[in-house]
Amino acid sequence: MRFGAYLPPQAERALVPAVYFLAGLTCTEETFAHKAGAQRAAATLGLALITCDTSPRHARVAGDDASWDFGQGAGFYVDATRAPWSESYKMYTYVTRELVEVVEAALPVEPSRRGIMGHSMGGHGALVAALSAPGAYASASAFAPIVAPSSVPWGQKAFAGYLGDDPSAWDAYDATALIARGARFSGQLLVDQGTADKFLDRELQPERLKAACDRAGQQLSMRMREGYDHSYHFIASFVDEHLRHHAAALLE
Protein backbone atom coordinates (compact mmCIF):
# COMPACT_ATOMS: atom_id res chain seq x y z
CA MET A 1 0.00 0.00 0.00
CA ARG A 2 1.09 3.54 -0.73
CA PHE A 3 0.25 6.59 1.37
CA GLY A 4 1.19 10.25 1.39
CA ALA A 5 2.14 12.55 4.24
CA TYR A 6 2.41 16.32 4.54
CA LEU A 7 4.24 17.57 7.63
CA PRO A 8 3.86 21.21 8.72
CA PRO A 9 6.89 23.26 9.84
CA GLN A 10 5.91 22.70 13.48
CA ALA A 11 6.82 19.01 13.08
CA GLU A 12 10.51 19.98 13.01
CA ARG A 13 10.26 20.91 16.69
CA ALA A 14 7.57 18.71 18.22
CA LEU A 15 4.98 16.03 17.59
CA VAL A 16 1.92 17.35 15.73
CA PRO A 17 -1.68 16.13 15.34
CA ALA A 18 -2.51 14.17 12.19
CA VAL A 19 -5.64 14.39 10.08
CA TYR A 20 -6.26 11.33 7.90
CA PHE A 21 -8.03 11.95 4.58
CA LEU A 22 -9.99 9.20 2.79
CA ALA A 23 -10.54 9.83 -0.91
CA GLY A 24 -13.46 8.89 -3.12
CA LEU A 25 -14.06 6.54 -6.02
CA THR A 26 -11.24 6.22 -8.61
CA CYS A 27 -8.85 8.35 -6.51
CA THR A 28 -5.46 7.48 -5.05
CA GLU A 29 -3.30 8.68 -2.18
CA GLU A 30 -2.17 11.56 -4.41
CA THR A 31 -5.52 13.10 -5.35
CA PHE A 32 -6.20 15.18 -2.25
CA ALA A 33 -2.60 16.38 -2.04
CA HIS A 34 -2.70 17.59 -5.66
CA LYS A 35 -6.19 19.04 -5.87
CA ALA A 36 -7.47 20.22 -2.49
CA GLY A 37 -4.93 22.96 -1.72
CA ALA A 38 -4.93 21.99 1.94
CA GLN A 39 -1.23 22.35 2.73
CA ARG A 40 -1.24 26.10 3.38
CA ALA A 41 -3.90 25.87 6.09
CA ALA A 42 -2.27 22.75 7.52
CA ALA A 43 1.05 24.61 7.75
CA THR A 44 -0.55 27.54 9.54
CA LEU A 45 -2.48 25.34 11.96
CA GLY A 46 0.29 22.83 12.57
CA LEU A 47 -1.50 19.74 11.28
CA ALA A 48 -0.02 16.75 9.49
CA LEU A 49 -2.08 15.43 6.57
CA ILE A 50 -2.08 11.70 5.84
CA THR A 51 -3.63 10.40 2.62
CA CYS A 52 -4.15 6.76 1.69
CA ASP A 53 -5.06 4.79 -1.39
CA THR A 54 -8.64 3.70 -2.01
CA SER A 55 -8.03 -0.03 -2.56
CA PRO A 56 -5.28 -2.63 -2.65
CA ARG A 57 -3.30 -2.41 -5.90
CA HIS A 58 -0.76 -5.23 -5.93
CA ALA A 59 -3.08 -8.05 -4.87
CA ARG A 60 -5.12 -8.30 -8.05
CA VAL A 61 -8.49 -10.04 -8.29
CA ALA A 62 -10.04 -11.14 -11.56
CA GLY A 63 -12.44 -8.44 -12.72
CA ASP A 64 -11.21 -5.86 -10.23
CA ASP A 65 -10.95 -3.24 -13.00
CA ALA A 66 -14.18 -4.08 -14.79
CA SER A 67 -16.08 -1.10 -13.35
CA TRP A 68 -15.11 2.23 -11.86
CA ASP A 69 -17.20 1.89 -8.71
CA PHE A 70 -16.10 -1.56 -7.54
CA GLY A 71 -12.68 -3.14 -7.13
CA GLN A 72 -9.62 -1.09 -8.00
CA GLY A 73 -9.97 2.42 -6.62
CA ALA A 74 -13.23 1.50 -4.89
CA GLY A 75 -12.51 -0.45 -1.72
CA PHE A 76 -15.30 1.37 0.18
CA TYR A 77 -13.28 1.19 3.42
CA VAL A 78 -14.79 -2.13 4.48
CA ASP A 79 -13.20 -5.41 5.53
CA ALA A 80 -14.48 -7.74 2.81
CA THR A 81 -15.86 -11.10 3.92
CA ARG A 82 -16.77 -12.49 0.50
CA ALA A 83 -14.18 -14.39 -1.52
CA PRO A 84 -12.03 -13.55 -3.39
CA TRP A 85 -12.12 -9.96 -2.06
CA SER A 86 -11.68 -11.09 1.54
CA GLU A 87 -8.08 -12.09 0.76
CA SER A 88 -6.84 -8.50 0.54
CA TYR A 89 -9.69 -5.96 0.60
CA LYS A 90 -9.52 -5.13 4.31
CA MET A 91 -9.59 -1.36 4.00
CA TYR A 92 -11.30 -0.64 7.33
CA THR A 93 -8.57 -2.42 9.26
CA TYR A 94 -5.93 -0.83 7.06
CA VAL A 95 -7.18 2.72 7.67
CA THR A 96 -8.01 2.46 11.36
CA ARG A 97 -5.15 0.26 12.53
CA GLU A 98 -2.38 -0.67 10.08
CA LEU A 99 -1.86 2.75 8.50
CA VAL A 100 -2.05 4.49 11.88
CA GLU A 101 0.60 2.16 13.32
CA VAL A 102 2.97 2.80 10.42
CA VAL A 103 2.46 6.57 10.48
CA GLU A 104 2.85 6.93 14.23
CA ALA A 105 5.99 4.78 14.26
CA ALA A 106 7.69 6.59 11.39
CA LEU A 107 6.58 10.22 11.54
CA PRO A 108 6.56 12.98 14.20
CA VAL A 109 2.83 12.83 14.89
CA GLU A 110 1.08 12.69 18.25
CA PRO A 111 -0.70 9.32 18.76
CA SER A 112 -3.35 10.78 21.05
CA ARG A 113 -4.43 13.49 18.60
CA ARG A 114 -5.99 12.11 15.41
CA GLY A 115 -8.68 13.44 13.10
CA ILE A 116 -10.34 11.82 10.10
CA MET A 117 -12.05 13.30 7.06
CA GLY A 118 -13.04 12.23 3.57
CA HIS A 119 -14.92 12.86 0.34
CA SER A 120 -17.83 10.88 -1.13
CA MET A 121 -16.88 7.20 -0.64
CA GLY A 122 -14.15 8.51 1.65
CA GLY A 123 -16.66 10.63 3.53
CA HIS A 124 -18.58 7.43 4.18
CA GLY A 125 -15.38 5.81 5.40
CA ALA A 126 -14.50 8.72 7.67
CA LEU A 127 -17.94 8.81 9.31
CA VAL A 128 -17.94 5.04 9.84
CA ALA A 129 -14.46 5.08 11.35
CA ALA A 130 -15.34 7.94 13.69
CA LEU A 131 -18.51 6.19 14.86
CA SER A 132 -17.09 2.66 15.07
CA ALA A 133 -13.85 3.34 16.91
CA PRO A 134 -14.73 5.39 20.02
CA GLY A 135 -11.78 7.42 21.20
CA ALA A 136 -9.64 6.73 18.13
CA TYR A 137 -10.38 10.12 16.56
CA ALA A 138 -10.91 13.45 18.25
CA SER A 139 -12.37 15.12 15.16
CA ALA A 140 -14.30 14.06 12.07
CA SER A 141 -15.64 15.70 8.93
CA ALA A 142 -16.80 14.84 5.44
CA PHE A 143 -17.44 16.38 2.04
CA ALA A 144 -20.47 15.00 0.17
CA PRO A 145 -20.40 11.65 1.99
CA ILE A 146 -22.36 8.54 1.09
CA VAL A 147 -24.20 8.59 4.40
CA ALA A 148 -26.45 5.53 3.94
CA PRO A 149 -24.64 3.19 1.54
CA SER A 150 -26.94 0.27 2.34
CA SER A 151 -29.80 2.24 0.76
CA VAL A 152 -28.21 3.61 -2.42
CA PRO A 153 -26.87 1.99 -5.62
CA TRP A 154 -23.17 2.69 -5.07
CA GLY A 155 -23.21 1.13 -1.63
CA GLN A 156 -25.52 -1.74 -2.49
CA LYS A 157 -23.26 -2.81 -5.35
CA ALA A 158 -20.12 -2.58 -3.23
CA PHE A 159 -21.54 -4.16 -0.11
CA ALA A 160 -23.09 -7.10 -1.97
CA GLY A 161 -19.76 -7.72 -3.68
CA TYR A 162 -17.56 -7.37 -0.62
CA LEU A 163 -19.86 -8.47 2.22
CA GLY A 164 -22.45 -10.77 0.64
CA ASP A 165 -26.15 -10.53 -0.08
CA ASP A 166 -27.46 -10.29 3.50
CA PRO A 167 -28.18 -6.58 4.16
CA SER A 168 -27.95 -7.13 7.91
CA ALA A 169 -24.19 -7.55 7.45
CA TRP A 170 -23.93 -4.12 5.86
CA ASP A 171 -25.02 -2.04 8.86
CA ALA A 172 -21.53 -2.07 10.39
CA TYR A 173 -20.37 0.11 7.49
CA ASP A 174 -23.37 2.42 7.21
CA ALA A 175 -23.10 5.66 9.22
CA THR A 176 -26.85 6.23 9.35
CA ALA A 177 -27.48 2.66 10.49
CA LEU A 178 -24.69 2.85 13.08
CA ILE A 179 -26.23 5.94 14.67
CA ALA A 180 -29.65 4.30 14.69
CA ARG A 181 -28.10 1.32 16.50
CA GLY A 182 -26.56 3.51 19.19
CA ALA A 183 -23.09 4.39 17.89
CA ARG A 184 -21.97 7.90 18.78
CA PHE A 185 -19.06 10.21 18.08
CA SER A 186 -18.04 12.22 21.12
CA GLY A 187 -17.58 15.48 19.21
CA GLN A 188 -19.42 17.27 16.44
CA LEU A 189 -19.55 15.74 12.98
CA LEU A 190 -19.03 18.34 10.24
CA VAL A 191 -20.53 17.69 6.79
CA ASP A 192 -20.52 19.96 3.74
CA GLN A 193 -22.73 19.10 0.77
CA GLY A 194 -23.17 20.95 -2.50
CA THR A 195 -26.71 21.55 -3.69
CA ALA A 196 -25.69 21.17 -7.37
CA ASP A 197 -24.06 17.79 -6.81
CA LYS A 198 -25.31 15.45 -9.55
CA PHE A 199 -25.16 12.51 -7.12
CA LEU A 200 -27.13 14.26 -4.37
CA ASP A 201 -30.54 12.60 -4.68
CA ARG A 202 -29.49 9.17 -5.96
CA GLU A 203 -26.33 8.32 -4.02
CA LEU A 204 -25.72 10.78 -1.17
CA GLN A 205 -29.03 11.63 0.49
CA PRO A 206 -27.62 13.69 3.38
CA GLU A 207 -31.08 14.13 4.86
CA ARG A 208 -30.86 10.52 6.07
CA LEU A 209 -27.85 11.33 8.24
CA LYS A 210 -29.39 14.52 9.56
CA ALA A 211 -32.58 12.72 10.55
CA ALA A 212 -30.65 9.95 12.29
CA CYS A 213 -28.49 12.45 14.20
CA ASP A 214 -31.54 14.52 15.19
CA ARG A 215 -33.28 11.44 16.58
CA ALA A 216 -30.19 10.23 18.42
CA GLY A 217 -28.91 13.53 19.73
CA GLN A 218 -25.63 13.16 17.85
CA GLN A 219 -23.93 16.52 17.32
CA LEU A 220 -23.88 17.37 13.59
CA SER A 221 -23.18 20.50 11.60
CA MET A 222 -24.50 19.91 8.09
CA ARG A 223 -24.02 22.78 5.68
CA MET A 224 -25.72 22.76 2.30
CA ARG A 225 -23.54 24.78 -0.06
CA GLU A 226 -25.62 26.49 -2.72
CA GLY A 227 -24.45 25.85 -6.28
CA TYR A 228 -21.48 23.59 -5.47
CA ASP A 229 -20.99 20.23 -7.17
CA HIS A 230 -19.14 17.00 -6.30
CA SER A 231 -15.70 18.07 -7.53
CA TYR A 232 -12.43 18.98 -5.86
CA HIS A 233 -13.25 22.63 -6.60
CA PHE A 234 -15.93 22.17 -3.92
CA ILE A 235 -13.43 20.62 -1.51
CA ALA A 236 -10.82 23.31 -2.17
CA SER A 237 -13.40 26.00 -1.42
CA PHE A 238 -14.05 24.78 2.13
CA VAL A 239 -11.08 22.63 3.12
CA ASP A 240 -9.60 25.42 5.25
CA GLU A 241 -12.80 25.51 7.32
CA HIS A 242 -12.64 21.75 7.78
CA LEU A 243 -9.03 21.90 8.92
CA ARG A 244 -9.91 24.63 11.42
CA HIS A 245 -12.70 22.37 12.68
CA HIS A 246 -10.14 19.62 13.23
CA ALA A 247 -7.62 21.98 14.80
CA ALA A 248 -10.19 23.18 17.32
CA ALA A 249 -10.48 19.64 18.66
CA LEU A 250 -6.90 18.46 18.16
CA LEU A 251 -5.08 21.51 19.50
CA GLU A 252 -7.28 22.36 22.48
What domains lie within the chain, and their CATH numbers?
3-250 (3.40.50.1820)
Q: What is the pLDDT of residue 197?
A: 98
24-74 pLDDT, tens digit per residue, is: 999 999 999 999 999 999 999 999 999 999 999 998 999 999 999 999 999
pLDDT at residue 21 is higher than 90: yes
Active-site residue, selected from the candidate residues 119, 124, 230, 242: 230
Tally Cβ neighbours within 10 Å of residue 156: 14
Q: What is the pLDDT of residue 121?
A: 99
Q: How confident is the model at residue 187 (pLDDT cuts 50, 70, 90)?
A: very high
Q: What is the pLDDT of residue 115?
A: 98
pLDDT at residue 22 is higher than 90: yes
What is the signed CA dihedral for 172, 173, 176, 182, rounded to 10 degrees? 30
Rounded Cα distance, 187 and 190, in Å: 10
130-145 pLDDT, tens digit per residue, is: 999 989 999 999 999 9
199-243 pLDDT, tens digit per residue, is: 999 999 999 999 999 999 999 999 999 999 999 999 999 999 999
Q: What is the pLDDT of residue 18?
A: 98
- Length of the chain (residues): 252
Active-site residue, selected from the candidate residues 53, 79, 119, 120: 120
Active-site residue, selected from the candidate residues 53, 79, 174, 197: 197
Our answer to whether residue 229 is catalytic in this structure is no
Q: What residues contact 72, with CB distance under 8 A and at least 6 apart? A: 55, 57, 64, 65
Q: What is the pLDDT of residue 49?
A: 99
Buried b (16+ CB within 10 A) or exposed e, 65-97: eeeebbbbbbbbbbbbeeeebeebbbbbebbbe
Our answer to whether residue 230 is catalytic in this structure is yes
Rounded Cα distance, 218 and 106, in Å: 35
Q: What residues contact 168, with CB distance under 8 A and at least 6 apart? A: none
- Environment class of residue 171 by beta-carbon count within 10 Å: exposed (0-12), middle (13-18) or buried (19+)? middle
Our answer to whether residue 242 is catalytic in this structure is no
Q: What is the pLDDT of residue 252?
A: 79
Rounded Cα distance, 159 and 156, in Å: 5
- Environment class of residue 132 by beta-carbon count within 10 Å: exposed (0-12), middle (13-18) or buried (19+)? middle
Q: What is the pLDDT of residue 26?
A: 98
